[in-house]
Amino acid sequence: MDRKLTLAALLAMALAIASPALAVDKASAVLKDKDGKEVGNVELTDTPSGVLMRLVLDGVPPGDHAFHVHAVGKCEPPDFKSAGPHFNPDETKHGLMNPEGPHSGDMPNLHVPDSGKLTIEVFNEMVTLDAEQALLDDDGSAIVVHAVADDYKTDPAGNAGDRIACGVVTE
């Protein structure tokens, strides 16, 4: 009996050593405005071909807003400049319509209705949570909503205006 337990224990240890660490497949970000008020959240799910983001907003001004992943996992109000530039590990130009782009953090504009409430899913095939193009790298990343729409071509940020909401991506 002891021999079977010892063998089972050795097998379990060998499997644990040989198995890679479990990959992160979910993350989230709580979006806050410059006053620290929560205005939304994003649930991120890693897939084999990118990251699916489910965004829920409540309290963002109505209208068109740029929606980006920024390179640093910091959201210090009031201007959220601590989030750094757009997430851009390939060092491309900004813009979904730029022939030399886009940044990995560039995503379609949000169209927030008069209620200020929006639920939408956005798929970004240019990022992952913890492999190449990882949003959960050493300095993290942030999800940012801007004051106005992205023009999809002007480098470096699409003339998207001020950063009005920011959330750090966390496991």
139: CATH = 2.60.40.200
23-27, 84-88, 97-101, 105-109: range with lowest mean pLDDT: 23-27
Q: Is residue 101 part of a domain?
A: yes
pLDDT (0 to 100) of residue 14: 42
Q: Is residue 4 part of a domain?
A: no
- Sheet holding 142-146: strands in order across? 67-70, 142-146, 163-168, 26-32, 38-47, 50-58, 117-124
Tokens of 164: 């009005």
- Residues 6 or more apart whose CB falls under 8 angstroms from that of 146 comprise 65, 66, 67, 68, 157, 160, 161, 162, 163, 164
Q: Is residue 150 part of a domain?
A: yes
pLDDT (0 to 100) of residue 5: 41
Confidence category of residue 158, pLDDT binned at 50, 70, 90: confident
What value does the mean pLDDT take over residues 23-47?
A: 93
The C-alpha atoms of residue 48 and residue 39 are separated, in whole angstroms, by 30
What value does the mean pLDDT take over residues 71-96?
A: 94
pTM: 0.84
Q: Is residue 12 part of a domain?
A: no
pLDDT (0 to 100) of residue 19: 38
- Strands 63-65 and 110-112: what pairing? antiparallel
pLDDT (0 to 100) of residue 155: 81
Estimate to the nearest angstrom the gap between the alpha carbon of 28 and the chain centroid.
8
Q: Is residue 10 part of a domain?
A: no
Confidence category of residue 17, pLDDT binned at 50, 70, 90: very low
Tell me the residue range of the domain where 55 lies. Answer: 23-168
Q: Is residue 14 part of a domain?
A: no
pLDDT (0 to 100) of residue 23: 60
36-68 pLDDT, tens per residue?
999 999 999 999 999 999 999 999 999 999 999
Q: Is residue 5 part of a domain?
A: no
Q: Is residue 42 part of a domain?
A: yes
Give the residues across from 79 on adjacent strands: none
15-19, 41-45, 148-152: range with lowest mean pLDDT: 15-19
Question: How many domains does the chain divide into?
Answer: 1
Q: Are 127 and 50 in contact (CB under 8 A)?
A: yes
User: What rounded mean pLDDT belongs to the chain?
Assistant: 86
pLDDT at 76 over 50: yes
